Structure 1
Amino acid sequence: MLEIQGMAGHLIRRLNQISVSIFADRMAAAGHDITSVQFAALSAVNAMPGVDQATLAGQIAYDRATIGGVVDRLVQKGLIDRRVSPSDRRARQLRLTEAGMQLVDEITPIVWALQSDILGGLSEEETQQMLTLLRKATDAGNSLSRAPLRG
């Protein structure tokens, strides 16, 4: 075994690879061309209609400089509507379109179902423990992130 194979960073990167692969496979099988980051954005806009792009980035812990590209792709797909804020002409308010709402309703159960496959080798008790530890570690390191969770 290589030394790196026992390091947290390496294992987290590998788990992320597994998560992204499972997500992509399930979305493709369901006939959808959507990434996990796009789903996170859709889910957040669904929960916070009218949210601006900067707040959206903080809510999903995504880089503010690149959230615009994610939103652009969702607008091009007809899933999000972007409008100038009436209170701040520099800000863009985001809302799901009807197609966006339908997609979120359709794929949210798929996303929930694939969560157990991401941690497939764990029992239910181990999964809960892993999620608790992941939350604890990400909360503790949030301020060190280039895209911290805000909100």
Structure 2
Amino acid sequence: MTEPDEVLDNLAQVSFAVMAHLSQVAAAHELSLTQLRVLGILRDRTPKMAELATHLGLDRSSVSGLVDRAVRRGLVLREASRDDGRSVRVSLTPAGVELARELTAEAARAMAPLTSGLSAADRNRLGVLLGRMLA
């Protein structure tokens, strides 16, 4: 296998492992992986519905259904946007904030084995490289 093929193969394998861990964490709380992503996105921002759809790569009607389910569970609030009365912003409720914290901690524990064989310097470097890939 050539080096670029090995990088691609390893990246795919790591992606699958991360998705499996995150799916297990979500399922333990009766959430889908996409609902987990919604809570993760809302941890540090209150986007408009259209912005949330862009973050998720989904159409607005799909996001509306996701948000409806989260509202029914008491995890998310919809509020009229202060800067644009036609828009709706989405934010976490206190229960949503608490669940997001819990999910973050569980995800960190679930994924720790993936990086446990790396030195602190390697983990830092991996974080930098992954950040550059996503930029």
TM-score by length of 1: 0.65
Task: Report the alpha carbon displacement of residue 69 of structure 1 after superposing the two structures with TM.
Answer: 4.4
Partner of 1:15: 14
Per the alignment, do residues 4 and 39 of structure 1 end up closer, same or farther by CA in structure 2, a change over 3 Å counting?
Answer: same
Distance 2:57 2:109 in 1: 27
Counterpart secondary structure, 1:105 = helix
Structure 2: which amino acid aligns with 1:116?
Answer: A
8 Å contact kept, 1:81–1:96? yes
| 1:35 to partner: Cα distance | 4.1
Q: Distance in 1 between matches of 2:134 and 2:102?
A: 29
* C-alpha distance in 2 between matches for 1:88 and 1:13: 43
Query: Which residue number in structure 2 is paired with residue 146 of structure 1?
Result: none
Q: What's the secondary structure of 1:132's corresponding residue?
A: helix
- State the alpha-carbon separation in 2 of the partners of residues 35 and 120 from structure 1: 27
Residues in 2 aligned to 1:70 and 1:111: alpha-carbon distance in whole angstroms: 21
- Are the aligned partners of 1:22 and 1:118 in contact in 2 as well (CA < 8 Å)? no
User: What is the CA–CA distance in structure 2 between the aligned matches of 1:37 and 1:125, rounded to whole Å?
Assistant: 32
- Residue 94 of structure 1 deviates from its aligned partner by 0.9
Q: Distance in 2 between matches of 1:97 and 1:106?
A: 14
1:13-92 equivalences under 5 Å are 13-28=12-27, 31-49=28-46, 51-58=47-54, 61-65=55-59, 66-85=62-81, 87-89=84-86, 91-92=87-88
Identity %: 22
Q: 1:119 to 1:34 in 2, by over 3 A?
A: farther
Code of the aligned partner of 1:80:
V
1:95 maps to 91
Question: Compared with structure 1, are the counterparts of its residues 71 and 7 closer, same or farther at alpha carbon in structure 2 (3 Å cutoff)?
Answer: farther
Q: Which has the higher contact order (CA 8 A, sep 6+)?
A: 1
Residue 97 of structure 2 aligns with an amino acid whose one-letter code is: M
Quote the Cα distance in structure 2 between the aligned partners of 1:10 and 1:35.
Answer: 26
| 8 A Cα contact 1:57 1:63, kept in partner | yes
Aligned length: 132
SS in 1 for 2:43: helix
How far off is 1:108 after superposition? 2.4
For the 8 Å contact 2:75–2:95, the answer to whether it is kept is yes
The CA deviation string for residues 88-141 of structure 1, in whole angstroms up to 9 with x for no partner, is 32x2211223431231232222223334233344333222211111111222xx
Superposition RMSD on alpha carbons, in Å? 3.1
Name the TM-score, length of structure 2 as normaliser: 0.71
